[in-house]
Each structure stands twice: as C-alpha cells, then as structure tokens.
Amino acid sequence: MKKLLQSAVIGLACVTASAGAMADAVADFYKGKDVELYIGYKPGGGYDGYARLIARHMGKHIPGNPNVVPKNMPGAGSVKLANWLWEGAPQDGTAFGAISRGAPFEPLLDNDKAKFKANKFHWVGSANNEVSICATVKRTGIKSWKDLRDREVLTGGNGSGSDTEQFPKLLNAVLGTKFKVVGPYGGGSDIVKAMIAGELDARCGWSWSSVKSKNKDLLESGDLVILMQMSTEKHPELPNTPLVMDLVPSFNSKKQSQMLNLVFARQGLGRPYVAPPGVPADRAAALQAAFMATMSDPEFLADAEKGGFDLSPISGKRVAGLVNTAYDTPPEVIKQVVDAIR
C-alpha cells in the first residue's frame, strides 16, 4: 500500500511538472511578441467593435503577456480571412481571426471560394450568441414583414458567406418575400449608411447587439422599423417582434425543419474567433483559456458595458461542437439550402 501511495505521489508530481513545463514553454514563446487578431470586415461594424474590445484586454491573459494587435482583412463576408487562416497565416499561434458566424458553413453550402475545412480549425471561442433582425426605416412605408411580399425590397449584402446575403434569399424561398440583395458592401456600417441615404430599403441579418452598440441613434429616434427576428429563439428584449420560425405556416417535412435550423443555427456561434489548424495544441489551448478568462475580466466587462456590447460567452469547445453538428447535416438537406441561397 505504501509503495502504491508513493507511486501515485510520484506520478502526480511528474504530471504537475510536465504541465508546468508546457505552460513555461508557451509563456517563453509569447513573451515579447505581438499576436495579430485579424477581423474579416472593415472598421466600424459589429465584428470590428467586438474584436477591438477583446484585443484591448486579452493579452494579459495569454502566458507571456503578448500584445494583441487588431488588423482588418475584409472580403467575401470574411471568407477571404478564413481562407488565409487556413493556408496563408502563420501556424505558430501568433495570428487568429474574427470571422462571420456564417463563414464556417460556406464549404458545406457549396461556395467554391471557401477553401478551408471549418471542422479542422482551432476554435478559440465566441463573445456572444446572437439574434439577428430584419429592419427598414420609416421613409420606405414598410410596416410589417407581410409588406415584404408585396414589392421589391433592396437590402444590402456583405458577400456570399454573410448573413446579410443568405438570410434574405432564404426568406424569399420560404416566406415569399421579394428581397433583392445589393452589394457586396465592405461592412455592416456601410449598409446602414446606404439605408439612411436612401440607396437601400433594408438590412436583413443585422445583429441585435450591433444595433444597440453601433446604431442606438436609429433606435432612439424611432426611425428604425424592426420587422422580424431571425434565430431559433426570440431575444428577451424583443418579445413583440415575430420570430421567423413562427412565420412559416407549418413544416411540411423533417427536411424543411432541418433546412431552416441549418441556416439559423449559426446564430449560436455569435461572433466566433478561430486559429489556424496548424497551431500547436498547447498554444491553441492557451488562446482558448485566455479568451474565456478575458470574458470574466472586470476591466473587460466594464469596457464592454460602456460600449453597449452584449456578452454571453461560448467556449471554443462549444463552438467546435456546433460546427461539427452542422457538418453532420444530411446531404439532401444541404442541397435544399444551397438551392435557396445561391
């Protein structure tokens, strides 16, 4: 018994020493370095705002305390950035990215420009899950989602991998709306400017958190007309705004249910952060742990509250699970979605 206890103590000591050595190795690697956080959209939008908020606080939670430097790499609804993270970015843990919640689904949805395998990335985490809205402004005279079926409605898109491109097309197929997607625009803020200027009628696939943090003036003025919310569940702050899932008369089949769930499941990813597939496991784990530590950092939380950013953090493991579930969708359901949004 004594020998068994001694063996257990020695074994635990070895494991502890090994873990400590790994942590020291990660700290030694990151010390004095810059970690670049790339953002798949232009400055000024919601993805940019969240990423810059995180960049200000995350470095002190990474072993070695590197500087986290935000940089923008817009293009194709952040598919450009996802491709670069897959095959062009440093694979050593000094670069990771903020991509759209729709981008991971692009290889699945037959986008030949998406060259990556989303289920092979290191998922760092997400600051929140999301509910998106479809909205217009008063000058259009559109008062209800039903009005969207009576006339052509110009809505802005950010590229083939974006919610703003795919959600309106899905609504056309399922609800009979008459959206015409115009773009691509470089970022969500560009779509809002075009809508205010009268170039567009609507923005569809607009994160509620972005509306509150970036476009509070539109809300407070009463000029914004919110027509519906798009997710699998209603946002508690929008109890009287119809949920798109409730507007569908009925599910004709299990496939139709799976089709809608595949598209709107991305809302659970919120605003995901991803590291290249070749990052060593210990550094990827350090980034994941640092991300979640940042989410409970008092200074970060105060900064987020000041900026009006909604937070409901999701671990990298949970994000990876959501992506893997989507990739298990039956091929015939995927084809139905592709036919609707392409």
| pLDDT class of 162 with cuts at 50, 70, 90 | confident
Q: Are 33 and 94 in contact (CB under 8 A)?
A: yes
132-266 folds as D-Maltodextrin-Binding Protein; domain 2 (3.40.190)
Residue 203 to residue 167: CA distance in whole angstroms: 10
- pLDDT attached to residue 261: 78
Residue 315 has a pLDDT of 97
Separation in Å, CA 315 to CA 27, 67, 210, 286: 22, 22, 21, 13
> Is 70 exceeded by the pLDDT of residue 254?
no
More confident residue, 294 or 337: 294
Instruction: Collect all residues with Cβ–Cβ distance below 8 Å to 335 and sequence separation of at least 6.
Output: none
How confident is the model over 194-208, as pLDDT tens digits? 999 999 999 999 999
Residue 15 pLDDT class (50, 70, 90 cuts): very low
Q: Give the mean pLDDT of 128-138.
A: 94
Instruction: Tell me the C-alpha distance between 254 and 233, whole Å.
Output: 19
Say yes or no to pLDDT of 108 above 60: yes
Q: Give 93's pLDDT tier (boundaries 50, 70, 90).
A: very high
The answer for residues whose C-beta is within 8 angstroms of residue 170's C-beta and 6 or more apart is: 260, 263, 337, 340, 341
Please state, rounded to an integer, the average pLDDT across all residues of the chain. 90
At a CB cut-off of 8 Å and minimum separation 6, what does 163 contact?
100, 101, 102, 132, 205, 230, 266
Greater confidence, 14 or 210?
210
Kindly tell me the burial class for residue 270, based on how many C-beta atoms sit within 10 Å of its own C-beta (0-12, 13-18, 19 or more): buried
Q: pLDDT value at position 224?
A: 96
Q: What is the band of 226 on the pLDDT scale with cuts at 50, 70, 90? A: very high
| Torsion, CA 226, CA 227, CA 228, CA 234, rounded to 10 | 40
Q: Which two tokens stand for residue 96?
A: 């990771």
Pick the range with the lowest mean pLDDT from 122-126, 134-138, 188-192, 255-259.
255-259
The structural domains of the chain, with segments of one domain joined by +, span 2-129+268-341, 132-266
Which letter, b or e, does each residue of 194-220 get, where b requires 16 or more Cβ atoms within 10 Å of its Cβ? bbeeeebbbbbbbbbbbbebbbeebee
pLDDT in the model for residue 262: 86
For the segment 124-153, the average pLDDT, to the nearest whole number, is 95
Structure-token match 């020695």, residue found: 10
**Is residue 64 over pLDDT 80?**
yes
Q: Which of 214, 213, 208 is nearest to 229 (CA)?
A: 208
CATH architecture of 2-129+268-341: 3-Layer(aba) Sandwich (3.40)
Q: Can you spell out the DSSP letters for 71-131?
A: EE---GGGHHHHHHHHHTS-SSSSEEEE--TTGGGTTTTT-TT--S-GGGSEEEEES----
Chain centroid, CA 65 distance in Å = 26
pTM of the prediction? 0.78
Provide the pLDDT for residue 299. 98
Q: What angle do CA 240, 272, 68 make, to 5 degrees?
A: 125
Residue 247: pLDDT band with limits 50, 70, 90:
confident
The closest of 99, 109, 170, 80 to 327, measured between CA atoms, is: 109
HSE (side-chain half, CA atoms, 13 Å) at 234: 11
The pLDDT score that the predictor gives to residue 305 is 95
Q: Which of 90-104, 167-181, 212-226, 230-244 reaches the highest mean pLDDT?
A: 90-104
Express as a percent the part of the chain with pLDDT over 70.
Answer: 91
pLDDT at 129: 87
